[in-house]
A and B are shown apart, each in its own frame.
Chain A
Amino acid sequence: MNTLDWIVLLITMIGIAAYGAWHTRHTDQLDTYLKGSKTTRWGTIGISVMATQASAITFLSIPGQGFESGIGFVQNYFGLPLALIIVSALFLPIYRKLGVYTAYEFLGQRFDAKTRLLGAGLFLLQRGLAAGVTIYAPAIILATVLGWRLDLTIIATGVLVIIYTVTGGSAAVSLTQKWQMSIIFGGMVTAFFILIARLPPGLGLGGATHVAGAMGKLQAVDFSLNPDRRYTLWTGLFGGLFLSLSYFGTDQSQVQRYIGGAALREGRLGLMFNALLKIPMQFSILLLGALLFVFYQFQPAPVFFNRVEWQQNAGGTNAVVFHALEDRNAALHVLKQEKIQAWLDARNHGDTVAEPAARAAMLEAQAATEAVRNEARAALTAANPLAQTKDSDYVFIGFILDQLPHGVIGLLIAVMIAAALGSKAGELNALGTTTTIDLWRHFRPLAAHDEARNVRAAKWLTALWGLVAIAFALFAGFSENLIEAINIIGSIFYGVVLGIFLVAFFLKSVGGTAVFWAAVAAQTMIFALYLLRHRFPVLDISYLWYNLIGCAACVMFSLMLQTLLPRKPKLAVQNP
Chain B
Amino acid sequence: MKLPPDPVTDDKSPGVPGFRTWRGVYLFVFAVFVAVVVLLALFSRLFA
Please give the residue numbers on chain A whose beta carbons come within 8 Å of chain B beta carbons, in ascending order: 74, 78, 81-82, 84-85, 88-90, 93-94, 96-98, 106, 109-110, 209-210, 212-214, 218-221, 233, 264-265, 268-269, 272, 275-276, 279-280, 283, 504-505, 508, 511, 569-570, 573
**B41, A213: Cβ atoms closer than 8 Å:** no
**A268, B14: Cβ atoms closer than 8 Å:** yes
Q: Which residues from chain B contact A269 at a C-beta distance below 8 Å?
A: 14, 16
Task: Look across to chain B and name the residue whose beta carbon is closest to the beta carbon of A81.
Answer: B33
Q: Which residues from chain B contact A209 at a C-beta distance below 8 Å?
A: 47
**Can you spell out 17 A-B residue pairs with CB atoms less than 8 angstroms apart?**
A81-B30, A81-B32, A85-B26, A89-B22, A93-B7, A110-B2, A209-B47, A218-B47, A219-B44, A220-B41, A220-B44, A221-B40, A221-B41, A265-B12, A265-B14, A272-B26, A279-B40
A210 to B47 CA separation, bound complex (whole angstroms): 6
Q: Which residues from chain B contact A85 at a C-beta distance below 8 Å?
A: 26, 29-30
Interface residues of B in 1-48 (CB under 8 A from A): 1-5, 7-8, 10, 12, 14-16, 22, 25-26, 29-30, 32-33, 36-37, 40-41, 43-44, 46-48
A264 to B25 CA separation, bound complex (whole angstroms): 14
Task: Look across to chain B and name the residue whose beta carbon is closest to the beta carbon of A504.
Answer: B4
CB of A37 to closest CB in B, whole Å: 19
CB of A75 to closest CB in B, whole Å: 8
**A272, B29: Cβ atoms closer than 8 Å:** yes
Q: Which residues from chain A contact B33 at a C-beta distance below 8 Å?
A: 81-82, 275, 279
Count A-B contacts at CB 8 Å: 88
A40 to B8 CA separation, bound complex (whole angstroms): 20
**B7, A279: Cβ atoms closer than 8 Å:** no
CB of A238 to closest CB in B, whole Å: 14
CB of A11 to closest CB in B, whole Å: 37
**B48, A276: Cβ atoms closer than 8 Å:** no
Q: Which residues from chain B contact A268 at a C-beta distance below 8 Å?
A: 14, 22, 25
Task: Look across to chain A and name the residue whose beta carbon is closest to the beta carbon of B27.
Answer: A85
A90 to B9 CA separation, bound complex (whole angstroms): 10
**A97, B7: Cβ atoms closer than 8 Å:** yes
A256 to B12 CA separation, bound complex (whole angstroms): 23
CB of B18 to closest CB in A, whole Å: 13
- Given A94-B4, A97-B7, A213-B46, A280:B36 Cβ within 8 A: yes
A89 to B36 CA separation, bound complex (whole angstroms): 22
CB of A103 to closest CB in B, whole Å: 12
**A272, B8: Cβ atoms closer than 8 Å:** no
A469 to B2 CA separation, bound complex (whole angstroms): 37
**B4, A81: Cβ atoms closer than 8 Å:** no
CB of B9 to closest CB in A, whole Å: 9
- Given A97-B7, A97-B8, A218:B26 Cβ within 8 A: no
Task: Look across to chain A and name the residue whose beta carbon is closest to the beta carbon of B32.
Answer: A276
- Given A210-B47, A220-B43, A275-B29, A569:B1 Cβ within 8 A: yes
Tell which of A213, A220, A280 has the most Cβ of chain B within 10 Å.
A220
A213 to B43 CA separation, bound complex (whole angstroms): 9
**B48, A93: Cβ atoms closer than 8 Å:** no
Q: Which of A78, A94, A213 contacts B7 (CB 8 A)?
A: A94
A213 to B8 CA separation, bound complex (whole angstroms): 47
Q: Which of B2, B14, B40 contacts A570 (CB 8 A)?
A: B2
Q: Which residues from chain B contact A573 at a C-beta distance below 8 Å?
A: 2
**A276, B47: Cβ atoms closer than 8 Å:** no
Task: Look across to chain A and name the residue whose beta carbon is closest to the beta carbon of B3.
Answer: A508
Q: Which residues from chain A contact B2 at a C-beta distance below 8 Å?
A: 109-110, 570, 573
A509 to B37 CA separation, bound complex (whole angstroms): 38
Question: Can you add 9 more A-B contacts, CB < 8 Å, to A213-B48, A570-B2?
Answer: A89-B22, A110-B4, A218-B43, A218-B47, A264-B8, A265-B12, A268-B22, A279-B33, A280-B36
Q: Which residues from chain A contact B8 at a C-beta distance below 8 Å?
A: 93, 96-97, 264
